Amino acid sequence: MASKNMEYELVNACIVTKDRWIPNGSVVVKDGLIASVNAGGPPPGKRIRLNLNGLYVYPGLFNAHDHLLSTYLPKVAPSKPYLNWLPWDNDLKSSIVFSERQQLDPEQLYLLGSYKNLISGVTSVQDHIPHFVQDPFVEKMPVRILNQYALSHSICTYSLNWGDGPKEEYAKALKQNIPYVTRIAEGFDSESRDSLKNLHKLGCLGEHTVLIHGIVLSESDIQLISEKKAHLVWCPEANQFLYERTVDIRDLLKHGINVSLGTDSSICGSLNLLEEISTARKFYQTEYGEDLSTKTLFEMVTCNPAKAFRVEKQLGSIEVGKIADIVVLTRNIEDPYANLCESDLSSVRLVLRDGIPVYGDVSLESFFEESGVIVERVLVDNIERYLVASPGKLLESLVISLGYKKDLAFFPVQKEFDNFE
């Protein structure tokens, strides 16, 4: 990736911060960090200038729950709704889809998952898997893989043996001030229903705890989560696909619980985070007969996960001193929060990670060239874009590994053009 040691200004843009938005604002990026956020033009200085002509500038989005190693299609769930995650996992691992996926090496799958996230404006991903699996790929991926965490797979006797056990992992989280991440209440059996209470009995429920799913959490469970100031990641698409049910999200929000949004893996969840936002809105309207606040949804993919994963001093909002992870979206709706919620892949005009452009419009060619980043010119959903590194080589490697060209809806990329540096 190109050096972070560059200085430039984004001007004539609507800057969407955590608490407000700034029409006709500007952002100065220097050495990979946000150096200033301004109403009107930037402070004087000799910098590269990028005129965004009224586009919306958001913090880079967070996907708060994914399994990058499981980035594949089609979805598998022949026996749904499932009692819990285990019978689904058994169905998956006995499927033709899984056998085919096994022909790809882990780096190919991690690249697919990273690109899937990147082209939807995601710059940070929580990849729920043991460290020894993801460690070889963290520094190679075009998205930020959040790799500072303790974990369990779940809190039940049939849990996968991830980590050193809930008590040990939670103690590690407290000592290192990192999140402790585990799936919870993911099923209809007694162990799933009791898993939150059992986690609490172990002394592992607190401000460092990030809970995934929670589809059968009771009213008293939700009250306990609120009292302990734990966090929850909501994955409505995967929950409904596998279990035909999801957590009582309205009750969670009424209790003031910090909720983030995640896609889960492609093999059971959404194609991308923008689609997950749409699913969340539709579910809430159908389930409760009212609209979920678009500002709340904005927070679920920006500042809320930054808080949950304990990186809010570095990420999650456009503020001076924070890392310049930024996504620029087409301006289709005047309200920027509603605009985000109505966005799709075609809306993503530029993605910056550490201040470096990693994805964007071909109209920004000079900006990419001045940054020194190596990209390829590709079609994404039939729109010309620049995409970092070598997506074309990845596509070629998939054909070699699988023996045919497989269409993957989460990665609608075609290599049509030559590289440039």
Q: What is the pLDDT of residue 421?
A: 39
How far is it, in rounded angstroms, from Cα 368 to Cα 195? 49
CA distance readout (Å), 126 to 82, 179, 233: 25, 11, 10
CA–CA gap between residue 377 and residue 385 (Å, rounded): 6
**CA proximity to 163, closest of 171, 354, 346:** 171
DSSP conformation letters of 50-112: EE-TT-EEEEPEEEEEE-GGG--SS---TTPSPSBHHHHHHHHHTSHHHHHHTTS-HHHHHHH
Helices (DSSP H) in 186-257: which residue ranges? Answer: 190-201, 219-228, 236-243, 249-254
- Strand-pair partners of 359: 351, 387
The single-letter code of the amino acid at 78 is: P
Taking residue 319's Cβ as centre, other Cβ atoms within 10 Å add up to 13
| Element spanning 397, H or E | helix 391-402
Nearest Cα neighbor of 199 from 161, 227, 165 is 165
Enter the pTM of the model.
Answer: 0.96
Residue 375 neighbours by CB distance under 10 Å: 25
For 304, the enclosing helix (H) or strand (E) is helix 303-308
pLDDT of the residue at 176: 99
Q: How far is the C-alpha of 257 from the C-alpha of 360, rounded, in Å?
A: 35
State residue 418 phi and psi, 5-degree precision: -80, 160
Q: Residues 282, 285, 288, 289: what is their CA dihedral angle, to the nearest 10 degrees?
A: -150
Cα–Cα distance measured from residue 391 to residue 374, given in angstroms and rounded to the nearest whole number: 11
Which structural domains are found in the chain, ordered by start? Answer: 1-59+317-373 (2.30.40.10), 62-308 (3.20.20.140), 378-421 (no CATH)
Q: How many CB atoms lie within 10 A of CB 400?
A: 8
Q: Give one word for 45, left, alpha or beta, with left for phi > 0 and alpha for psi -120 to 50.
A: left
Please choose, from the candidates 263, 195, 187, the residue with its C-alpha nearest in 3D space to the C-alpha of residue 225: 195
284: left (phi over 0), alpha (psi -120 to 50) or beta: alpha
Per-residue pLDDT of the chain (421 residues; tens, 9 = 90+): 555 778 999 999 999 988 889 999 999 999 999 999 999 887 888 789 999 999 999 999 999 999 999 999 999 999 999 999 999 999 999 999 999 999 999 999 999 999 999 999 999 999 999 999 999 999 999 999 999 999 999 999 999 999 999 999 999 999 999 999 999 999 999 999 999 999 999 999 999 999 999 999 999 999 999 999 999 999 999 999 999 999 999 999 999 999 999 999 999 999 999 999 999 999 999 999 999 999 999 999 999 999 999 999 999 999 999 999 999 999 999 999 999 999 999 999 999 999 999 999 999 999 999 999 999 999 999 999 999 999 999 999 999 999 999 999 999 999 864 443 3
What per-residue string of b and e applies to 296-317 under the rule 16 or more CB within 10 Å gives b? bbbbbbbbbbbbbbbbbeebbb
Calculate Rg over the CA atoms of the chain. 21
Query: Could you tell me which of 91, 87, 83 has the C-alpha nearest to residue 244?
Result: 83
**Taking every pair of C-alpha atoms in the chain, what is the biggest distance, in angstroms?**
64
CA–CA separation, 76 and 96 (whole Å): 10
Rounded distance between C-alpha atoms, residue 228 and residue 231, angstroms:
9
Give the span between the Cα atoms of 350 and 378, in whole angstroms: 14
Beta partners for residue 125, in sequence order: 63, 145
Q: What is the pLDDT of residue 323?
A: 99
Count of other CB atoms within 10 angstroms of residue 282:
12
Q: CA–CA separation, 212 vs 231, rounded Å?
A: 9
The pLDDT score that the predictor gives to residue 44 is: 82
